[in-house]
Chain A
Amino acid sequence: MTEWLTMIFMISSGLFMLLAALGVLRLPDLPTRMHASTKAGALGAILIMAAAAFFFADGVVVTKAIAVILFILITAPIAAHAIGRAGYFIGVPLWDGSVKDELKSCYDPETHRLVSGLETADEIEAYRKNLDIKPKVKLKQRSKKKVAPPPSTKS
Chain B
Amino acid sequence: MSWVIYLTFALMSLALILVFIRLVKGPTLPDRVVALELIASIMVGMIGVHAIHTQTSSFIDVAVVMALTAFLAAIGFARFLERGGPRHD
- Interface residues in chain A, defined as those with a beta carbon under 8 Å from any beta carbon in chain B: 3, 6-7, 10-11, 13-15, 17-18, 20-22, 24-25, 30, 33-34, 37, 41-42, 44-45, 48-49, 51-52, 55-56, 58, 60-61, 64-65, 67-68, 71-72, 75-76, 78-79, 82-83, 85-87, 89-90, 92, 137-139, 141
How many residue-residue contacts, CB under 8 A, span A and B? 173
CB-based contact B18/A25 at 8 Å: yes
Residues A52 and B60 in contact in the complex (CB < 8 Å), given A10-B4, A18-B11:
yes
Instruction: Knowing A21-B16, A64-B61, say if A48 contacts B34 (CB, 8 Å).
Output: no
Q: What is the bound-complex CA distance between A25 and B18, given in angstroms?
A: 6
Range, interface on chain B: 35 or more
The residues of B with any CB-CB pair to A shorter than 8 Å are 1, 4-5, 7-8, 10-12, 14-19, 21-22, 28, 30-31, 33-35, 37-38, 41-42, 44-45, 48-49, 51-52, 57, 60-61, 63-64, 67-68, 70-71, 74-75, 77-79, 81-84
Q: Given A25-B21, A55-B52, A20 and B64 touching (CB < 8 A)? A: no
